[in-house]
Amino acid sequence: MHLSELKKMDLNQFKNQLNTELEQFIELLNTLLPRYSLLLNKLNLTKSEVTELGEIEHFLIEINAKISEIKSRLDHDLFGHSIDIYYKLKRKALLGDPNAKIKLDKMREVFNESLKSETLMLWN
């Protein structure tokens, strides 16, 4: 979906659609994982079961990589965007913009609370 399509769609509709698709993904995964576990723990696999186990394992590795990529992108995009806004506000505040100063102070409070609650990762 492109940004132009998101503007047309109500944010609540977008959230609902995304949540529905994530729930479907979880349901499908919950269907596949028991089969994988069963095959993994079975002592005498047939040739077709060995093939199936290998295919499932390969597929799960691919899914894991995609999930990691999504998480990494979310973490980096959210963090990067926040830092970009922070420094733009800081420049405006230093130039004397009172609204920027208020927003900057609020943003610092949010960052501080995130650090205290350990929901913000520090990259060193």
CA distance 107 to 88: 12
Cβ–Cβ under 8 Å, residues 49 and 39:
yes
CB atoms within 10 A of CB 29: 13
Please give the span between the terminal C-alpha atoms of the chain, in angstroms, as a whole number: 34
The length of the chain in residues reads 124
pLDDT score at 7:
63
pLDDT at 39 over 50: yes
pLDDT score at 20:
97
Q: Which domain holds residue 48?
A: 9-66
pTM over 0.85: no
pLDDT at 79 over 80: no
Quick one: average pLDDT of 30-50?
A: 96
pLDDT at 67 over 70: yes
Same domain, 81 and 50: no
Same domain, 39 and 86: no
In a domain, 72, yes or no: no
